[in-house]
């Protein structure tokens, strides 16, 4: 599934294409997509395919097409502080983007059938926290993953504000999915070849809307134990943050707000990612000549074409020079502020989440 938009050269180019095709429609979703490089969730040797609007699968590792994820993110209508459950959480790519919107007081849980994929997701999450500058630009709700079949969730599990299922749901499992949702919540799942948004409007009432025609592999049916019944799977607990963690959140928030105020006072704009200019395609004028008794079209370069080609070369050279200037890594102002605080090194390390950069 995919191929709805043109392939990009990098993550920003892919997001530009998704915006142009109206798959990404809100600033909040755009920021989350730009902050997480899709290529980071591919295995080495496959990254060249990361910015195509195509699904990718290698063994148990799977990523849906970017157009699917963007429609899902928009349909979930995410807000800070909500609880989210990802059924078939896979590589953690979607859960990590969701975490940037939920913020530190949300809940971000995922359940994945394959233990090797959960290990892969946890490795990618750790790498994002330790190495990505985006981590310091957002308040993050860290995902927690468990191994298990999402059709075996324990009956006493808590309900969620937002739920996404990343595999095809059979009609007889529809009500099972709905029960996991809080009143006022939104469930997005593929059912009967349609990506569907379901809103729970009351204890026993729902509203459904088809979003997009899709083709997903169906949910794997649960295996049974020796007693002939499937084992239940417990979801991660909804833990309350401790005082130490709360202090770190509010110190980082205060410093981030101070940096923003300081930049505004100096008249320094918050720079948006540069938009990539589309290359102009040179067109040829056709003239027609008689060869024998046949009228044959002949391409003819006009002076205007030659001028446009020269302008295009100059423009590309200018863009290349500007890109070279932009290659310097951006300053991580939050980290700089923390490292200048008159605090013990161990406390500075805690405030930076023990990041190396």
Contact 238, 157 (CB under 8 A): no
Give the C-alpha distances (Å, rounded to integers) separating 97 from 34, 93, 266, 323.
Answer: 9, 7, 31, 27
Question: What tokens appear for 167 in the block?
Answer: 């595999």
Identify the CA nearest to 158 among candidates 109, 206, 98, 219. Answer: 109
Q: What is the dihedral of CA 242, 245, 250, 251, to 10 degrees?
A: 140
- pTM for this prediction: 0.82
Contact by Cβ (8 Å): 89, 39:
no
Tell whether the model's pLDDT for residue 160 goes beyond 50: yes
Q: Is there a contact between 299 and 282 (Cβ–Cβ < 8 Å)? A: no
Whether 125 shows a pLDDT value over 90: the answer reads: yes
Q: Which residues contact 307 (CB under 8 A, 6 or more apart)?
A: none
Of 64, 83, 95, 132, which residue is the catalytic one?
A: 64
Question: What would the pLDDT profile of 261-311 be if each residue is shown by its tens digit?
Answer: 988 888 877 655 445 545 443 444 444 444 455 545 555 555 555 555 566
Strand, helix or coil for residue 83? strand
Sheet holding 144-147, edge to edge: 144-147, 107-112, 83-87, 160-165, 181-191, 194-202, 205-213
218 pLDDT more than 90: yes
**Highest-pLDDT range among 141-145, 298-302, 310-314, 351-355:** 141-145
φ and ψ at residue 186, rounded to 5 degrees: -130, 130
Name the percent of the chain lying above pLDDT 90.
70
215 a catalytic residue:
no
Calculate what percentage of the chain has a pLDDT beyond 70: 79
Beta strands per DSSP E along 91-177? 107-112, 144-147, 160-165
Can you tell me whether residue 32 is helix, strand or coil? helix
Residues present in the chain in total: 357
- Give the DSSP per-residue string, 290-302: EETTEEEEEEE--
What is the rounded distance in angstroms from the CA atom of residue 298 to the CA atom of residue 350? 70
* Alpha carbons 64 and 188: distance in angstroms, whole number: 14
The string of pLDDT tens digits covering residues 17-75 is 999 999 999 999 999 999 999 999 999 999 989 999 999 999 999 999 999 999 999 99
- Given the structure tokens 């070369």, which residue do they identify? 313
């Amino acid at each position: 599934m995919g191929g709805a938009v043109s392939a990009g050269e990098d993550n920003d180019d892919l997001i530009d294409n998704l915006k142009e095709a109206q798959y990404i429609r809100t600033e909040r979703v755009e920021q989350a997509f730009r902050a997480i490089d899709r290529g980071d969730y591919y295995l080495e040797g496959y990254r060249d395919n990361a910015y195509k609007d195509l699904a990718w699968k290698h063994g148990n590792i799977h990523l849906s097409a970017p157009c699917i994820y963007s429609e899902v993110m928009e349909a979930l209508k995410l807000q800070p502080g909500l609880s989210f459950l990802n059924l078939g959480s896979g590589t953690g790519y979607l859960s990590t983007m969701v975490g940037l919107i939920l913020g530190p007081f949300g809940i971000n849980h995922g359940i994945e059938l394959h233990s090797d994929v959960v290990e892969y997701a946890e490795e990618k999450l750790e790498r994002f926290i330790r190495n990505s500058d985006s981590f310091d630009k957002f308040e993050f709700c860290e995902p927690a993953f468990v191994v298990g079949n999402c059709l075996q969730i324990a009956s006493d599990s808590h309900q969620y504000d937002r739920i996404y299922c990343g595999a095809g749901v059979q009609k007889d499992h529809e009500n099972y999915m709905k029960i996991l949702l809080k009143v006022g919540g939104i469930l997005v799942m593929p059912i009967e070849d349609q990506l569907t948004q379901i809103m729970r409007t009351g204890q026993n009432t729902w509203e459904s809307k088809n979003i997009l025609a899709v083709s997903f592999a169906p949910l794997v049916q649960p295996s049974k134990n020796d007693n002939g019944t499937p084992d239940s799977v417990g979801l991660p607990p909804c833990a309350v943050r401790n005082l130490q963690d709360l202090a770190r959140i509010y110190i980082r928030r205060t410093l981030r707000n101070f940096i923003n105020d300081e930049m505004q006072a100096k008249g320094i704009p918050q720079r948006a990612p540069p938009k990539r200019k589309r290359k102009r395609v040179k067109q040829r004028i056709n003239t027609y000549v008689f060869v024998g008794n046949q009228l044959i079209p002949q391409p003819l370069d006009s002076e205007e074409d030659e001028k446009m080609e020269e302008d295009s070369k100059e423009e590309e050279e200018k863009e290349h020079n500007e890109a070279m200037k932009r290659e310097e890594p951006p300053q991580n102002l939050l980290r700089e502020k923390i490292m200048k605080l008159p605090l013990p090194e161990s406390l500075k390390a805690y405030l930076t989440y023990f990041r190396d950069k």
